[in-house]
Structure 1
Amino acid sequence: MDLNTITEVVRRPLDRPGADWREGDAWLAGGTWLFSVEQPSLRRLVDLTGLGWDPLVAGRTGLEIGATCTIRDLYSFAFPDDWTAGPLFAKSCEAFLSSFKVWNSATVGGNICLSLPAGPMITLTVALEARYELWAPDGSTRTVDALDFVTGDHQNVLGPGEILRRVGIPAHALRKSTAHRRFALTRLGRSTVFLVGTQTPGTSDLLLTVTAGTTRPVRLAFDALPDASTLRQSLDAIPAGLWFADPNGTPDHRRHLTKYFAEEIRRELSAGDVP
């Protein structure tokens, strides 16, 4: 879609692009959402792709993902053999409401900052205990837990001019066993629910992440695998107002699917039938 209110595109922003932020600006990375709807309040686009941020940096402490990393780069990344959570990255990329062609421009940071309930990069990074590095226009930096970033449907903790710079996923989370379940009305459709369970090697703990069915991510942590009744009670404790409603499902439908798939994840991890 043409954005006919735009009067300027900054192709070579400052290394700290927020320093020049002004009302009417928008960050431009892949632009897959930005150019899909009218943006009448915008006057200037600041193109982040020219900053040359490293898309993926793997190290002893874990994985750093640059905010401008494309979904294509993430999908094709070769993970170390001991990062047993690696297959979850491909599954999350495949959960996009888009064809593979869009992956060449869509970015990890864009999906996170859009903050839709069904954002698969939100699911992935919350499930793997990531932290986000945020840059403010005054030059300050802060780090927030991925779980705390999204606050509601299309809502997050970013202030005016603040930018997501990178995502850090710790090595211990990348070495966990994982199990996931996702439901969508069509193969390339938006997720109605997307759940991920992770388990530390050599333990019976469970970290269950619930997304898409709720307006913000929900994380349930258990020191040991719960029985079916305890898991169901924990899911019942999710506030009614957090369940999401849109054409892909009612709150009751999403709650039902979440309980069903959570029990499948519990059984899978209990049996050790994971990658």
Structure 2
Amino acid sequence: MDLHTVTEVISPARPGQWRPGDAWLAGGTALLGEPRPHITRLLDLTAAGWPPVTIRDEGVEIAATCTIAELADQLGRYPIVLQCCDAFLASFKIWNVATVGGNLCAALPAGPMISLSVALDGTCVLVGPDGGERRVPAADFVTGEETTVLRDGELLRAIHLPSGPLGARTAYRRGSLHRHGRSAALLIGRADPDGAVSLTVTASTSRPHVFRFASPPSAAEIEAAIETIPASGYVDDVHGRPAWRRHLTHHHAQQIRAELAL
């Protein structure tokens, strides 16, 4: 898709350069995917030189400009990371261009980097036009289909994943209408060493839902948790109707519960 209203590209870009009509550019695979006539200028973040992945004792910081290929290469030892990368069902060309931050900011229900960040208790590091920084739980970053908590001129700088959840045992389920189709439901369960269990629901719903249990939940507890998602919260598009997505969500949630109980 040509963004024919864009007249200038600023590279490298800084937070203080933002003005109305600008858009932050990382991989651009989502940005260029549909008409955006309100955009007149692109601010290139790929030239900022941020290290893709920074590993520290307390966890991992993933730059918003980290590509899917770089994420898989540097954190591929964690099965859940590779599973979420593979959920793109994309060619190597997309893997080498699409970014982790871009996937979150696009806020599409099927975004697997949203699923990964939320399931591992990630924190989004946001930078405003004045350079001020704020942190938002990844579970709260996406507020609906293609909507986030980002304010005008604010950019996603990085996602921090704490070491505990990153190293925890996980269970993954993904459903789609077609073998190589867009995710209609993507659920991740996590069992922590203290016995706590979390279940993250994405793709079937317009925003992520996280359910936490102090101990391994029963089938009835999982059922009751999923039932708190309102009927209006399920996505309705060509990739699946709400009733079917709800069924997949219940089905995969019970599979995850059983797997983590082993």
Write the letter of the residue equivalent to 2:225. Answer: S
Write the letter of the residue equivalent to 2:105. Answer: C
**Contact 1:96–1:189 (CA under 8 A) maintained in structure 2:** no
Q: Percent of pairs identical after alignment? A: 47
Aligned to 1:250: 241
Aligned to 1:95: 87
- Deviating more after overlay: 149-158 vs 1-10: 1-10
**Contact 1:53–1:68 (CA under 8 A) maintained in structure 2:** yes
* Residue 163 of structure 2 corresponds to residue 171 of structure 1: yes
* Residue 213 of structure 2 corresponds to residue 222 of structure 1: yes
Aligned to 2:5: 5
Greater than 4 Å deviation, 4+ residue runs: none
* Residue 186 of structure 2 corresponds to residue 194 of structure 1: yes
Q: SS at 2:32's partner residue? A: coil
**Contact 2:76–2:82 (CA under 8 A) maintained in structure 1:** no
**Contact 1:99–1:188 (CA under 8 A) maintained in structure 2:** no
User: Following TM superposition, by how much is the alpha carbon of 1:188 offset from its aligned partner in structure 2, in angstroms?
Assistant: 3.0
| TM-score normalised according to structure 2 size | 0.97
Q: Distance in 2 between matches of 1:109 and 1:91?
A: 18
Aligned to 2:99: 107
User: Following TM superposition, by how much is the alpha carbon of 1:186 offset from its aligned partner in structure 2, in angstroms?
Assistant: 2.5
**Contact 2:122–2:160 (CA under 8 A) maintained in structure 1:** yes
**Contact 1:190–1:248 (CA under 8 A) maintained in structure 2:** yes
Q: Distance in 1 between matches of 2:107 and 2:76?
A: 26
Q: SS at 2:108's partner residue? A: coil
The equivalent position to 1:128 in structure 2, one of 114, 120, 127, is 120
**Contact 1:214–1:244 (CA under 8 A) maintained in structure 2:** yes
Aligned to 1:69: 66
Alignment gaps of 5+ in structure 1 = 81-85
Cα deviation code 1:78-108 (max 9, x no counterpart) = 567xxxxx11111101111532321111000
Number of residues paired by the alignment?
Answer: 262
| TM-score normalised according to structure 1 size | 0.92
Alignment gaps of 5+ in structure 2 = none
Q: SS at 1:77's partner residue? A: helix
* Residue 68 of structure 2 corresponds to residue 34 of structure 1: no
Aligned to 1:83: none
User: Following TM superposition, by how much is the alpha carbon of 1:187 offset from its aligned partner in structure 2, in angstroms?
Assistant: 3.1
**Contact 2:52–2:62 (CA under 8 A) maintained in structure 1:** yes
Write the letter of the residue equivalent to 1:252. Answer: A
Cα deviation code 1:45-103 (max 9, x no counterpart) = 111111100100111111100000000001111567xxxxx111111011115323211
